[in-house]
Amino acid sequence: MNAYKIKICKRENGCRNAVYKESEIVDDIVSVFEGTNYTDFIKGEIKGSIKSHHQFKVTISCCPNSCPMPQIVDLGIVAASTVMVSNERCSNCKLCIATCLEHAIVVDEINGPDIMRDRCVYCAKCADKCPTGTITVKENGFRVMVGGKLGRHARLASELPGIFSKQEALKIVENSVEYFKEHYSRAKRFADLFSIYSENEIFKRIVPVNHKSSI
């Protein structure tokens, strides 16, 4: 058994909500774990065979509905598409308002649509529906949640601020694994690090240095 477990949501069955449609991210994450020799590291730290509770768990949700529950695993990756208002003329059809489950859009008959960023969950449904291209996708990426777990001392994952490119998300996986290895003598679960170190301290170590949040 590997010392890591990667799960992706069931969007391959044809889920219409998916905003991330490629498949290689699972293989890419496997490569990250292999590159850090994580399984060998854990084998050297434990007695006996690797059990489920030794596994570093990663889930990938291909839309903000978050079916495989990224909030309760070591690392949750959630596909996100940010949207923007383009220069294309709005027809006032209000399809975007009807589509947005978050009530994040208002449309003014003269000025067109306005998106309330604090309500938006980056599903891009409004851009899919907009017939004029007035609302359009700005950027495809991922939200990343870290440090969740269930069990005796459950903890909901903390979300890193911003939207990350795939390469950045992979770097966060790598940095998180290395950070965990470094502190394994003090914490046997990644989530436990959050009761030893501040969130800011952990974020500084795992977020790629040059990341600039686009939201």
Tokens 């489920």 identify what position? 52
- Please report how close the Cβ of residue 192 comes to ligand SF4 at its closest, in angstroms: 27
How many CB atoms are closer than 10 A to CB 68?
20
| Of 113, 111, 115, the residue nearest 103 (C-alpha) | 115
Q: Does 62 bind ligand SF4 (CB under 6 A)?
A: yes
List residues bridging with 135 in a β-sheet.
85
Q: Using N-to-C axis directions, what is the helix angle for 166-182 and 38-45, rounded to 10°?
A: 20
Considering only residues 86 to 145 of the shown chain, the ones binding ligand SF4 according to CB under 6 A are 90-96, 99-100, 102, 104-105, 107, 112-113, 115, 120-126, 129-132, 134-135
Q: Does 65 bind ligand SF4 (CB under 6 A)?
A: yes
For ligand SF4 (CB under 6 A), the number of binding residues is 42
Nearer Cβ to ligand SF4 (123/157): 123
Q: CA angle at residue 148 from 56 to 208, to 5 degrees?
A: 75
Q: Which residues bind ligand SF4 (CB under 6 A)?
A: 9-11, 15, 17-18, 61-63, 65-67, 83, 90-96, 99-100, 102, 104-105, 107, 112-113, 115, 120-126, 129-132, 134-135
